[in-house]
Structure 1
Amino acid sequence: MSNENVYLPGKIRDRIQDLMKSHKVTQAELAARIGCSESMLSRFISGKTDKLGDENIIRIARVFNVSTDFLLGEADVPDRLNYDISELGLSVQAARNLYTHRVNPQVVNALLENPEFANTTNLISGYLDDELAKGFAAQNQLYATVAGMLRGQPDAVDDIKKLQTPVYQADLTAIQRSFMAAIQAVKKEFGNGLLASRELTAQAAKKIYAELTKGQHKPNRKITPEQIGEAVAQSVSHLPGVDTELVKQMFLAMTGTVADNEKGTNDQ
């Protein structure tokens, strides 16, 4: 955390004056933005009155985008940790999807922290508002007009038609590139667990192989599915709470094999 985000200890009056100074906001401007009279705010800041009201304190915190704890002098870092749904611009359904993990909050959080994703959302916003599409539509209309004036020169008309751009294609291409750049950046932050999983798989394979070849002297010895099931079970026997017999039976069931002891039971 940089030092510029940490303020010296102070009371609410000190905080308001510091924030007004750092944001270059006058008392008159602040009073207008929170909806109270300038004289009332001035008297509070000067210490002539202690009456300002909880609602005005909350409004001041929102004007400067700081926490109320910071404004009241209970914290020296202004960053807010909590926001109302309405302040974030989220719908109730969107908040519910996050809260119930219907969407992955970890992924959403990583994307929101990524600057490239912010660019993606702006591009999508422009696309939904037809911002770029209108420009390309006007450009295409211009090309069409010029082509109409060159009817006697088919080659020139074809060349002009090639210059026309599908109205929404530029938007979609830019959105796709931006979004993929954001995804790739987030992937780097999450890290690549592929190598680790390969290493774990290799270790498990070595354990299974060691179990299968234990005491083996002939390289071409026939290995039965039940032996493989036993080896798989032994490879995970060190894990807490693992029932090796159950693991073995599950493996045999998945491979369509019945254990010898079960066969004997069924034959009786």
Structure 2
Amino acid sequence: MSELLRGKGVVVTRPKEQSAELIALLEAAGAHPIPFPAIRIEAPENWQSLDAALDGLARFRWAIFSSRNAVQFALSRLQGRAQEWPKSVQVAAVGRETARALKDFGLSVDLVPDRFSSEGLLEHPALREVQGVGVAIFAGDQGRELLEHTLSERGALVEKVYCYRRSVPGANPTPLLHAWARGELHAVTVTSPEIFNNFYQMVGGLGQRWLKNTPIVAISPLTAEAVTAKGLPAPWVAPEASNQGLLQALRDWAKHMEDSER
């Protein structure tokens, strides 16, 4: 298994600030990571929404963090304002990596779903009976509204708190396209629908044609849907929404290729 990815060029499309762990895992597996951030994470244009939520945290029973970015921006802001997290507010994370980021800030995490997704959170019994319950969802712009809509339908008093914004990087795709043309690019990893759509836009018509014959590894079924929506072949999907899950899906792909060549 350890040799399956040796020498394989794997594009890492995560934002630069969040790609180190996946790059390290790929290098340890013998792969050649090719960083090409397809999303830029920036502070919100103003802090009014976040500051208002932080000032009134005690009115919520639950605070749901949708990503590591939400954790980073919200809790850095909290610490910068010399505020403490109220013990009465329970904390939920959409997945393991988000939970780890919360623990790095010293918060205990009350809920992490078995299935790392918004759907997984909504399946949890703690979020089923929420009539009249205050829920803050810390998230970025352009994100999904499933949590907000479903919890509101269940009677929760939901407040969406925007902590950061996303934009398309202005990176030059030419070096990536040259590597692709030389046969040095063997697979592409994508970790959100936004990242995939940005990547698809950034590589232009030539890259879009090559993507039809390049394996794509998606972190979740939702991200996989964004790939097939462009008319591309179904991607390999990570067994769990994490860097380890991406690595396992890459190994599954490499094993399939190895077996098919025998």
Larger radius of gyration: 1
Larger RCO (CA within 8 A; separation ≥ 6) = 2
- TM-score normalized with structure 1 length: 0.19
Higher strand share: 2
- TM-score normalized with structure 2 length: 0.20
Higher helix share: 1
